[in-house]
Amino acid sequence: MGSDTQPLHIFFFPFMAQGHMIPLIDIARLFAARGNKSTIITTPPNALHFADGVDRDKQLGLDINVETIPFSPVEAGLPEGCESLNHVTSQDMVMKFFKAVGILQQPLEHLLEEFRPDCIVADIFFHWTTGAASKYGIPTLLFYGTSNFSLCVRENIIRYAPHEKVTSNSEVFVVPGLPDQIEMTKLQLSNFGKTDNKFTEIGEKIKESEEKSFGFLVNSFYELEAAYAKYFTNEMGRRAWHIGPVSLYNRNIIDKAQRGKKSSINEHDCMSWLDSKKPNTVIYVSFGSVSSFGTAQLHEIAMGLEASEVPFIWVVRMGKNKENDQFLPEGFEERIAGKGLIIKDWAPQVLILDHPAVGGFMTHCGWNSILEGVSAGIPLITWPVFAEQFNNEKLVIQVLKIGIRSGNDVWNAWFEPEEVSVRKERIEEVVTQLMGDGEEAEDMRKRARELGEMAKKAVEKGGSSYNDLTALIEELSLHSYQQT
């Protein structure tokens, strides 16, 4: 911050799901590190996941705090303890959860009235925040937690409905109006992208909230998707500040290891395992914080990885039917000992990706994961499952050209589908190809390395994300001054 500007007080209101909370907590810590006061608003159980990190920042002298507000899942017909989208296990529960979070509006308003912050950064799923904050003259910055690219794709699918002009679900169509020729099929569209379903109403409320907001905070960096950042502003009329990749603000081992939640493996054990491997030889396989596969698909992944003979770290989300390790083929763990490491439930992802032994990432294309892979400078195998993950896959494959498709072609809910979408032969093939020394893989590695360098430069002093944050802080300070 400039010496002539007063510190701002900013509220951060993350949606209760790891993929939304993790980056917004990083952003709250970042604003505090730049001399402002950050207050994170969440429910008591969710606050526990990042309490240690906040305490560490406080000890360093940062002005960062947490205010908790009550949330009663039972009132909304959800089971006791269901305080995060990560606990939701059926489609019916998803809708209930989205409805239930509306209960938070009133306690949030009380906090806004009491503290009168200079700005609130709210997750887009709390679209009602814009209205609530405007009652007190407080500007709202919205946080989608995804790329500009993905928002542009979604906007033009809604605007031009190209999927309504095809004759089959698997017929390829081009998304009109975008800077690149982006090809998709109807099977890959998310519920939010399609028209006329139960998400349409939420989509409309989000749009209203966007129009009333101060702008968007984007976890991305300009150089990664410049054409889409421009499109987002110039063609879609949205103001946006790009301040990512925010994972890069976690600089020490403990912050990286505890990001999101405490990992199921001791970080030092994990690092020693990686230290024993040669540079760029290990593939990291993880499908994010919510998607979980059924036993048949897990068997295919296990056999595909084993057949590839590439060393791997594989994170398996624990869910139903997983208690007795039945999800692995017989004798698998003994056979892969030393060559493969299975982490059950939660891995220190950023710590792993940043290790020099890791040379590739098989990902479900959650936006955080893609950015973390890009920041680490490694190429990707894309295996999108749900949400806007197929859009993100298009950015990786068709624009950045730093990945290979696993071949999953069907958007699905994330609740352990029993069917197999990618067979072991294909898994072996793509892993071998990505980690091998073929020309195409070399080119991808080179491009990925260059992007990784750009990502790191973007967040350093004088970099594009650093400067965008400075510009935002200055603008908010001016806005705040004019209000007084």
Q: Does 190 bind ligand UDP (CB under 6 A)?
A: no
- Region of 283 (left: φ > 0; alpha: ψ -120 to 50; beta: rest) is beta
The stretch among 89-97, 122-130, 175-183, 284-292 that binds ligand UDP (CB under 6 A) is 284-292
The stretch among 106-114, 268-276, 364-372, 445-453 that binds ligand UDP (CB under 6 A) is 364-372
What single-letter amino acid sits at 130?
T
Distance CA 294, CA 381 (A): 20
CB of 115 to ligand UDP, least distance (A): 28
Distance CA 357, CA 311 (A): 10
Residue nearest to ligand UDP (CB): 19
CB of 188 to ligand UDP, least distance (A): 16
The stretch among 191-199, 230-238, 281-289, 445-453 that binds ligand UDP (CB under 6 A) is 281-289
110 among known catalytic residues: no
Read off φ and ψ for residue 222, nearest 5 degrees: -55, -45
Q: What is the DSSP letter of 360?
A: E
- Reported as type and span, the H/E element at residue 207 is helix 200-212
User: 389 near 365, Cβ under 8 Å?
Assistant: yes
CB of 69 to ligand UDP, least distance (A): 22
* Structure tokens that stand for 47 in this block: 């606050």
364 among known catalytic residues: no
Q: Does 372 bind ligand UDP (CB under 6 A)?
A: yes
Tokens 């600089």 sit at which residue? 251
The stretch among 8-16, 217-225, 341-349, 416-424 that binds ligand UDP (CB under 6 A) is 341-349
Name the active-site residue from 57, 123, 255, 468.
123
**By 3-state DSSP, what share of the chain in percent is helix, strand and coil, each rounded to 5?**
50, 15, 40
Q: Does 286 bind ligand UDP (CB under 6 A)?
A: yes
E strands, 244-311, in order: 282-286
CA nearest neighbour of 472 among 240, 145, 250: 240
Other CB atoms closer than 10 Å to residue 471's CB: what's the count?
A: 11
Binding mask 237-276 for ligand UDP (x = CB under 6 A): ----------------------xx----------------
Q: What is the DSSP letter of 323?
A: T
> 347 or 395, CB closer to ligand UDP?
347
Q: Does 347 bind ligand UDP (CB under 6 A)?
A: yes
CA nearest neighbour of 267 among 351, 147, 154: 351
Q: How many residues bind ligand UDP (CB under 6 A)?
A: 19
CB of 87 to ligand UDP, least distance (A): 13
Pick from 209, 308, 368, 406 the residue near ligand UDP by CB under 6 A.
368
Other CB atoms closer than 10 Å to residue 234's CB: what's the count?
A: 9
Catalytic residues: 20, 123
Provide the binding-site residues for ligand UDP, judged by CB under 6 A.
18-19, 22, 259-260, 286, 288-290, 315, 346-347, 349-350, 366-369, 372
